[in-house]
Structure 1
Amino acid sequence: MTLYPIVPTGENTTRQVLSSHPELMIVAFRFNKEGAIGALHDHPHVQATYVESGRFRFSLGGEEREVGPGDSFVVASRVPHGCVCLEPGRLIDSFTPRRDDFL
């Protein structure tokens, strides 16, 4: 079992790979302060996001939605997405295939 480091991803945000396989990766993103931003981006991977804690306003393909603990959603390949933290918390993201840029 590999222990992956916690990596800063921006002001008041970090990520940590929890597990990895060439076909699937699970990553925890922590937002430590209200107003922390997950920058708008896209990637070729399909992503599933589970809100473990906190509240977030997501932009997903040009539409906005607010999510909180227990919510989940899927982001299709190449769909622009990002978020603003409304209450500090943690997101658990799964990617298929693995995000080699996170290793």
Structure 2
Amino acid sequence: MPALQTFPAVTADPGVIRQVLSDSPQLMVVAFDFEAGAQGKLHNHPHIQSTYVESGRFVFSLAGEEFEVGPGDSFVIPSGAVHGCRCLEGGRLVDGFTPRRDDFL
């Protein structure tokens, strides 16, 4: 078994803590802890992103469409799609990125 690596938790946006959970050049898993009312600003990136809602409630904007998600929901964000979220009820999102988000290291 490879040695486990621990990554620091950092403030990503006001009320949002980001922590890389695991990574390789081809894949990265990242947890985002949100306080109620916090926002993940609209942005895009070349990575394909898979988001899993571990807890809380969120309104996501994806390519101009809005939808609400809660615990157990998951979805994929295509490469280059403009997206962001607003946290309705504090919780955690777990995102997978391919390839790795080097800007998070």
TM-score interval (norm. to shorter): over 0.9
Which residue of structure 1 lines up, in the alignment, with residue 84 of structure 2?
82
Q: CA RMSD in A?
A: 0.4
Letter aligned with residue 91 of structure 2: G
Letter aligned with residue 30 of structure 1: D
Which of 26, 37, 56 is matched with 2:29 structurally? 26
Name the TM-score, length of structure 2 as normaliser: 0.96
Which residue of structure 1 lines up, in the alignment, with residue 11 of structure 2?
8
What is the CA-CA distance between 1:11 and the residue it aligns to? 1.0
Which of 67, 70, 81 is matched with 2:69 structurally? 67
What is the CA-CA distance between 1:10 and the residue it aligns to? 1.3
What is the CA-CA distance between 1:18 and the residue it aligns to? 0.1
Which residue of structure 1 lines up, in the alignment, with residue 43 of structure 2?
41
SS in 2 for 1:86: strand
Equivalents in 2 of 1:42, 1:70: separation in Å? 24
Structure 1, unpaired ranges of 5+: none
What is the CA-CA distance between 1:16 and the residue it aligns to? 0.2
Quick one: percent identity of the two aligned structures?
65
SS in 1 for 2:68: strand
Equivalents in 1 of 2:15, 2:78: separation in Å? 26
Structure 2, unpaired ranges of 5+: none
Q: How many residues align?
A: 102
SS in 2 for 1:101: helix
What is the CA-CA distance between 1:3 and the residue it aligns to? 0.2
User: Which digits, 9 at most, give the CA deviation of each residue in 1:9-68, with x for residues without a partner?
Assistant: 111111000000000000000002x21000000000000000000000000000000000
